[in-house]
Every structure is written in C-alpha cells, then in structure tokens.
Amino acid sequence: MGASDPRSRGGLASPAPDGDSIGARSWSDPAPGAAGRPAPLAAASGPRSVVKLFAIRSVGRFSISLTSVTITGVIAAAIQVPAIQSCEVRRAAAAEAALAITSVRMLRRRSSSRSAVREWELIHLHLSQGSPSDNVRPVEAPATRDVDLVVVGAGLAGLAAAREAVGAGCSVLVLEARDRVGGRVLNEDIGGGHVVEVGGQWIGPTQDRIAAIARDVGVDTFPTWNQGENVIEYADRLRRYTGTIPKINPLVLLEFGRAQLRLNQLAKRVPLEAPWEAPGAARLDGQTVATWMRRNLPSKRARRVFELGIEAIWAAQPEDVSLLHVLFYIHSAGSLELLSDTEGGAQQDRFVGGSQLVPIRMAEQLGPGRVVLGAPVRAIRQSSKEGVTVEADGVSVRGRRAIVAVAPTLAGRLVYDPPLPGFRDQLTQRMPLGTVAKCMAIYPEPFWRNEGLTGQGMSDAGPVRLTFDNSPPGGSPGVLLGFLEGRRARELGRLPAEERRSAVVDCFARLYGPRAAKPDAYVERLWAEEEWSRGCYGCHMPTGAWTGYGPALREPIGRLHWAGAEYATVWSGYMDGAVRSGERAAKEALARL
C-alpha cells in the first residue's frame, strides 16, 4: 500500500471548521481550565493562497520591527492590505494578524496580553463584517475542539501515546502535519502488490514494545535475507566475508574487537535516565567519537571500517557526535552487536506488508475522528484558565494536557506562548538530525542470492556505504537497498536526481556485478528534504549537549509532555524507542490530568 493510497487514511479525519482565541500566561500554575477561545488559523489552500501571501507579506512587513511596532500597527496592516476584498480573505488576514500579534507579544515578552486579546477581538470583528457585495464563497472559521489530551504528530510515538490514553478512557485528538500517518516510517508502492520501506523498517531482539504492538494490530514479521556471504569493497578490492565484521587483516580485526569491547564496557556505566551523571561524564561529553577513535584505533584501516559503522548507526560523521552520546545509545540498545548485527541484532526482521502497516493499523484502531491529517501544528499556548491550546492549520484544539511527539529539532520550531524556558529551547538548538538517503534498485529477481550472497555489503569508496537485500518476503522482485549517510548523503543530496541514481547504481554494479547496473526501477527518499522530518534516523547529541542540557530533555513544561524516539531510554532512536516514549509520555500526562 503506497503512502498516498487512500486506504492508508482509514479512520482518520480532515480538519474541521470553527474557533478563535489568544490565551497564555505562565508555564507554571497549570490548573485545568474550561472556557477560552482558541485563535483561528486559516488553512492556506487553493486560490486564496496568493492573496494570503499579500496579507502575510504586508503583516510580515509590519512585524519585522517587532520591538517598535505596536499591535495597532499590525491591525492596520491587516486591514489595509488592498487585496483583502472577500470575507474569506478577511479571515485569512485575521488569522495572519493573530499570528503576527502572537509574534509581537512573544518578542516584546509582555506579561500582560489582555490588550492583545482585546485588539485581536477588534480585528476579528472588523474583518468578519464582510460587505454584502462580497461574491467569494464564504469559508468557515477553523474548528475548535476540546479533549483531555492533544497529541502533536502521528508517528509511532504519537500514536502509541494516543493508544495508551484511549485505553485509559480519555478523549484524545492527534494532529498530524502530513496527509498520512507513520512519520519516519513509510511504505512505497512498487507495483504488483509489493511495497518497499523508504523509512524505518527493521526490528530485532529486545525491541519488545514495537513487537507487541505489531502483534496486536496483526502485522507479522519475516527474517531479513541473511544467507550466504557479505561483500566489502575496501582499498579498491572486493572481498567476501561472513559475520558482521569483515576479515580484512588480523591486526585490524584485533584492534576493532578491542575498541568494540571497550565501548560496550564504557556504555554500561552510562545511566539511561541521566547520561550526564555517568562517571567522567564531562570528559566523555567533551570529545567526539572521532577523537576517541584516533586514540583507541591506532591504524587508519581500522578507523576507516569503524567510521562505516558510526555512519551506519548515527547517519553522521564521527566528528559530529559526542562520545557520551554514542555510549548512551549503545547502552540504550544493549550493545554494539545488538545495534549492528543482522541475525540477533537490530536488522534481524522485517514486517510483512511493510513497516508503515503498523502505524496505519494503530491509527485505525484508535477509532474514527481521532487523527486529523494535513494539520501542521504552528503554535501551542498554555494558560492556567484555558489549559493548553494547540493551533494547527484549520483546527484549534484545547486540551487539559498535550504531548508533543515530534523530533526535538522540530519541536523547537513551534511557537510557544509563553515561550519555552531558555534551557529547554537551547537543548532543541543542539539536537541535529542525521542525514540519510535510502535508495533502492529493483530487479526481476534477487540475482545475488544465486551467487551465494546475502546482499549485505560495505564500501569504503561509496557513495553507498551499506547495502542490504530488501526484497519482499516471497523473494520477488529483487530489491537492493543502499544507504547514503552523513557526509555522502549531504553531497549526493545536492546532485540532480539522475546523477545521484547513476552514482548509486554504479556502486551496486561494483559490488554485485554488471546485472546490478540495469535495474527495472529505482526508488529513493532523501529525509533531510522532508519538511516534517528534516533528517533521520534520529537526532544526535554533539559534544557538551548531554552534560549541559540533558536534564531538559524529558522534563514536562507546564501541561506539555514530550515523546519521540529521541526521548526513549531504551532503543533510543528506533521504532521501539518511539513506542516506548509515547507510552511513557501518555502515562506521565494521564497521571496529572
């Protein structure tokens, strides 16, 4: 089932209309409130968008000198936009003016927002008095809904949170920016009733929460193809090997084994709930894994192979990632072997029908109307009177509590009123997402299997650094999967698609011979380009982030709770971690309802 297949939207709703309000005060003192009027945010759609652009630009112009501009100036801007002729456009402008007012208020940091509310009401009144000559179809105001729990994001974390809350008898609404559920988990239709996964796909031992949910929603697993030998292209030579670590040279192997053991031992000492409290945390967090590699892997050869592993797991370069983060991540999964192995490790199994079937069924199980698609959340307001109001395009939802289930980097891009404490905001400024392009070539059959190969390969020349056999459970068609990660994903991501495809397919041909040079089809997904992901597999911590800002990661702020793979203590960064984090955040929120 493709991502755009209407079946993937089962049980889901589109934004519904009506609403208003600007409320907000302090993150503390969050008593559940009732009344309040959520602010309208018009959806930018169809013919309206050009005129809306005028409105935004005009309002925006006035919003630029935010310290000096008055709210009245913003009102004037909204009213004077010459293109605003219809009541539809008037409402769009009103919404934009509301946003501008919010921005003004946030930048001015004025604690008294009563005057802003009054002025907003004036704008709303003025703009809603459409003249009788208006001949443009009227548009209903955005919807307002009241629920116990609002969830931002319908990835595995958000859906797991919603599932937990619905199970506890709470009313829940999930707001999702995309027109599908699953987030970083996505199936792509390749015809003939087959799909390939362009996002997260594998599941392995100890990933018990995602496994339990998959069982519950009736999605089976099958083993990743792992029969035969692997290949490695290293120093311009192609070799075959078995197991996870290529047998390039006994000395390199020894160095490699020692480094792996050392990392596993150090990782065990990092507390999963509080990595910043690890013995020697400042020292571990004050160096990148590249620094550690230079000290602990004397030979360049061993470092080159190790670098392949770092890129494969973190989708970043060794110099990007703090050693403390690497240790936390290893402990969170169990060991380096669990992270990197196919059989017995995180790449062991796949989902029949594609991994996105799991979130699709989770959303269906929530019941109709509980997930709103195409509703990007823009702003979150908290007030002791009104609770938490989450404003998305076309819908505004007031809840007693909210869970923000998007990657921390994206959570930091929302508008919060009152603004997030600096400690939390600065954490989100320090959690970059990795860079991955997942590329697949499709052949009539997995011809490499007949040649005694698993389809698992490595290349130090690249640009594809890792390959896997990603054929469907029946073994037809043959699908060869290649990852572009970190620096290579950034470099190739900027090339024209045709050049990127050639570079990938050429690499497949070097590893698997001339038959690989002529695929029937080619599929790729560049996750940094995805507006609602901006990278993958997940966020990593650069040096100093855990020790400087770690305590801000999971701490709720007022009525806001955080979920997502990055917040997990077990299998952080993985589908399993996403589910665990959603369940934890829901329990935390429910306990305080």
Ligand X SMILES: Cc1cc2nc3c(=O)[nH]c(=O)nc-3n(C[C@H](O)[C@H](O)[C@H](O)COP(=O)(O)OP(=O)(O)OC[C@H]3O[C@@H](n4cnc5c(N)ncnc54)[C@H](O)[C@@H]3O)c2cc1C
Residue nearest to ligand X (CB): 155
Instruction: Give the residue, chosen from 27, 62, 120, 202, that forms a contact with ligand X under the rule CB under 6 A.
Output: 202
Q: Of 573, 583, 585, 590, which lies in the binding site for ligand X, with binding defined by CB under 6 A?
A: 573
The answer to whether 333 contacts ligand X (rule: CB under 6 A) is no
Does position 200 interact with ligand X (CB under 6 A)? The reply is yes
Q: Which of 327, 341, 348, 265 is nearest to 572 (CA)?
A: 327
In contact, 434 and 315? CB cutoff 8 Å: yes
Q: Which of the ranges 172-180, 212-220, 288-296, 380-388 carries the binding residues for ligand X, by CB under 6 A?
A: 172-180
Q: Which of 58, 63, 187, 201 binds ligand X (CB under 6 A)?
A: 201
Q: Which of 279, 375, 413 is nearest to 13 (CA)?
A: 375
Nearer to ligand X, 163 or 438 (CB): 438
Sole residue written with tokens 């959806």: 43
Cα atoms in the Cβ-side hemisphere of radius 13 Å centred on 27: 15
176 binds ligand X (CB under 6 A): yes
Closest separation in Å from C-beta 374 to ligand X: 10
Neighbours of 265 (CB within 10 A): 10
| CB nearer to ligand X: pick between 470 and 547 | 470
Q: In the stretch 480-519, what mask flags binding to ligand X with x, by CB under 6 A?
A: ----------------------------------------
Quick check: 199 binds ligand X (CB under 6 A)? yes
As measured in angstroms, the least distance from the Cβ of 283 to ligand X is 29
Minimal distance, residue 556 CB to ligand X, in Å:
17
* 132 class by beta-carbon count within 10 Å (0-12 exposed, 13-18 middle, 19+ buried): exposed
- Asked if 377 is part of the footprint of ligand X (rule: CB under 6 A), the reply reads yes
Position 185 contacts ligand X (CB under 6 A): yes
Q: What's the CA dihedral at 51, 54, 60, 62 to 10 degrees? A: -120
In the complex, the smallest distance separating the C-beta of residue 332 from ligand X, rounded to whole angstroms, is: 12
Indicate whether 175 belongs to the interface with ligand X (CB under 6 A): yes
Q: Does residue 394 bind ligand X (CB under 6 A)? A: no
Contact criterion met (CB below 8 Å) for 342 and 224: yes
According to CB under 6 A, which one of 363, 406, 420, 505 is a site residue for ligand X?
A: 406
| Least separation in angstroms between CB 444 and ligand X | 25
Q: Total residues contacting ligand X (rule CB under 6 A)? A: 39
Q: Which of 40, 155, 318, 387 binds ligand X (CB under 6 A)?
A: 155
Cβ-count burial of 358 within 10 angstroms (0-12 exposed, 13-18 middle, 19+ buried)? buried
Nearer to ligand X among residue 155 and residue 462 (C-beta): 155
407 binds ligand X (CB under 6 A): yes
Quick check: helix, strand or coil at residue 64?
helix
Per DSSP, the chain holds a count of helices (H) and strands (E) of: 20, 19
- Is the distance from CB of 174 to CB of 168 less than 8 angstroms? no
142 binds ligand X (CB under 6 A): no
* Nearest to ligand X of 523, 536 (CB atom): 536
Among 41, 157, 372, 420, binds ligand X (CB under 6 A): 157
The CA-atom distances, in angstroms, between 375 and each of 173, 179, 275, 296, 372 are: 11, 8, 35, 49, 6
- The closest alpha carbon to 436, from 524, 324, 348, belongs to 524
CB of 175 to ligand X, least distance (A): 5
Find the part of the chain contacting ligand X (CB under 6 A) among 161-169, 170-178, 272-280, 305-313. Answer: 170-178
Beta-strand pair 187-191/194-197? antiparallel
Stretch that binds ligand X, among 20-28, 155-163, 278-286, 471-479 (CB under 6 A): 155-163
Give rounded-to-5 percent helix, strand, coil for the chain.
40, 20, 40
Nearest to 346 by CA among 206, 231, 460: 206
Is residue 143 close enough to count as binding ligand X by CB under 6 A? no
**Which amino acid belongs to residue 309?**
G
Burial (CB < 10 A; 0-12, 13-18, 19+), residue 160, is buried
Q: Which positions touch ligand X (CB under 6 A)?
A: 152-158, 175-178, 183-185, 199-202, 376-377, 405-407, 410, 436, 438, 527, 532-533, 536-538, 564-565, 573-576, 578
